[in-house]
Amino acid sequence: MVEAGDFLWQGDEDFVASSNVSQFMAWLATERGHHFADYHELWRWSVADIEAFWQAIWDYFQLHSPTPHDKVLSSRSMPGAQWFTGATVNYAEHVLRNEVNGDPSRPFLYHLSELRPLGEMSWQEVAQKTRILATRLRALGVKPGDRVAAYMPNIPETVIAMLATTAIGAVWSSAAPEFGAGTVIDRFSQIEPTIVFVADGYRYGGKNFDRRDDISTIIAALPSVKTVIWMNYLQPDSEVAAMRPAVLGWEEALSGAPVPAAEFEFERVPSDHPLWVLFSSGTTGLPKAIVHGHLGVLLEHYKSAAFHMNIKPGRSVYFYTTTGWMVWNTLMWGPLMNGIAVLYDGDPAHPRPDAVWDIAARTKAQQIGISPTLVLTMQKLGIRPGEKYDLSALEGIFLVGSPATPESFSWLYENVKAELWVTSQSGGTEFCSGLVGGSPTLAVNAGEIQARTLGADIVALDEDGKEIIGEPGELIIRSPMPSMPIQLWGDKDFAAYRDAYFDIYPQWWRHGDSFTLNARGTCFVHGRSDATLNRYGVRIGSAEIYRTLDTMPEIVDSLIVCVEDKNGGFYMPLFVQMREGTALDDAMIARLRQKLRTERSPRHVPDEIIAVPAIPYTLTSKKMEVPVRKLMMGIPLDKAANTGSMKDPGALDWFADFASRRAA
């Protein structure tokens, strides 16, 4: 059995030397006189001299601003640090500028969905449609700073709408079509959009989902909307629906005359001008409206795409995502690096559980990003994609969305490809990127995240605020980063911002993750720190328990919490969703207890093991440990969770009933 930290792979000399980060280190030596022996030395410089590091990122990627900047960083205070003051940039302009760096008919996007076969869209087509739509938006009265929202699937039209919106300095925000009307209203009502792009529905898992009634409800609740741009995606031959504001069909919106690149003016904006608004999961209240700026996202995305994803020109990148997850906002990493983004809309395991590998093979993906949960499913089903698909172009797999187990790493090497860069990533909507992730120059060790990302001054602190190595603590960021939120929408004085991230350490960002940093620089993210299991004064991560349960085919899913009882003790129940046809009987309970005791420790053995009909998840696939813990503490369901942010809003009802019965 593979153990956490076991060595699995190291890229050969050519792989390391040809990596983007090695080339950047060579450039730093030649152009800046900085010589670094390895990635860890480079990281230490990047957080010690953050102004010099981010200036190097600006210069290396040749960011374009018609106005010079007077300083890299106004001050190191958080929040409120201002970057590259005086500069003016545009995100969409940088994404599209590679149109001229090669044949404009080459692919910009590969795209497919459960409704559409695999197709491609060229650089020329994407850029031209972006200019036409941006010109239309200007004609509709959209000004810099106005909000434009979308209730659309992960298809090329949504990318074009986003690029057109940001090209003119308007502020983009999106919600996935699987979100219910209430969830969308919770988000969009905060930002008051003037334009909303909608699609009539989508298909997932072979089933059609008509969203026309939801759209009517959403628009009726948004008095700020002046125009709805409607796309018939699910039912292409239907008439465009009529509703209160003006409705424009997608084809009509794109019917303008071609706009030559030389005649189109991108709206170049200062670093504190909003690019887009992303939303937190909102599991226990209204989701936070997180505002990013053009410049901060550009700097962070160039850094991440090049040095932590190793994306190469002309190569394709496939990350499974929906438009309601921050990963969607990173899909332009491919085009930023003069590569290709792969869009897929639908169930990642439809029509077969190995569909993700079919897509990777057909698009010749260099890198793919998938969830550890999906890997676990394929592991339990005995899938061996390396034997079935041509994955010769595949170089890297990035495990995102939740902690990855050593077994997931090992399974990928055994069943996908022996020569493979596998790494786990963790970041957040707040940064629209990773905080800890991979480097192609480092070894891959089972279950470990390879390193802290460049420019991310991260440490683990214990409960006394002291730095610790080798044991779980709070993930703390001690220096500002360009892609930190400009603000939370409507929070002009940073009061809500400070309360969310600077409540315990006023000078440092507290991310809310339980985090272990090892002596060799590798690390683990165990999950949210407010869901950490405090077992008789010893903090343990829920991921350790899930890792053991994941090896048991009888268990489909699980969730564990720990709450303090009235007598000062602890109650730690384990909830398990059993596979159909399998019962949680006394023999199974005894087997589970013994397995946790021997593979983990006596402290990992729960007080009670209970079968449940389903495990609750947010719309962004996060287990709802914190809301369940609140229910166990006696907090009512309407205060413990925002059910509108859930994949299955009824999944918490069982837990609320259980908590009520236990308290009686």
- Please give the angle made by the CA atoms of 397, 43 and 314, to the nearest 5 degrees: 40
**Distance separating alpha carbons of residues 424 and 403, to the nearest angstrom:** 7
Instruction: Kindly report the three-state secondary structure assignment for every residue of 469-500.
Output: CCCCEEEEECCCCCCCCCEECCCCCCHHHHHH
Instruction: Kindly report the three-state secondary structure assignment for every residue of 379-437.
Output: HHHCCCHHHHCCCCCCCEEEECCCCCCHHHHHHHHHHCCCCCEEEECEEECCCCEEEEE
Tell me how far the alpha carbon of residue 325 is from its chain's centroid: 6
| 3-state SS, residue 170 | coil
Residue 219 is predicted with a pLDDT of 95
**Distance separating alpha carbons of residues 58 and 89, to the nearest angstrom:** 12
For 477-486, b where at least 16 C-beta lie within 10 A, e where not — what string?
Answer: bbbbbbbbbb
- Running DSSP on this structure, what letter comes out for residue 339? -
- Please give the angle made by the CA atoms of 190, 192 and 196, to the nearest 5 degrees: 120
**Which residue stretches of 461-616 are H helix?**
495-501, 542-549, 586-599
Residue 334 is predicted with a pLDDT of 97
**Distance separating alpha carbons of residues 652 and 138, to the nearest angstrom:** 45
For the chain, domains (ranges, CATH) are 7-86+294-322+332-527 (3.40.50.12780), 97-274 (3.40.50.980), 535-663 (3.30.300.30)
| 3-state SS, residue 649 | helix
Identify the segments of the chain with pLDDT beneath 50: none
* Beta strand ranges found along 250-391 (DSSP E): 274-279, 289-293, 316-319, 340-345, 365-370
Residue 633 is predicted with a pLDDT of 80
Q: What residue has token string 């002291």?
A: 466
Structure token digits, residue 151: 């209730």
With 0-12 / 13-18 / 19 or more C-beta atoms within 10 angstroms meaning exposed / middle / buried, residue 427 is buried
Q: Which of 664, 650, 624 is nearest to 284 (CA)?
A: 624
Residue 645 is predicted with a pLDDT of 77
Residues contacting residue 125 through CB under 8 Å, at least 6 positions apart: 108
Expressed in percent and rounded to 5, the helix, strand and coil fractions of the chain are 35, 25, 40
| 3-state SS, residue 110 | strand
216, 450, 464 from 473: Cα distances, Å? 47, 18, 10
| 3-state SS, residue 243 | coil
Residue 639 is predicted with a pLDDT of 82
**Distance separating alpha carbons of residues 402 and 588, to the nearest angstrom:** 27
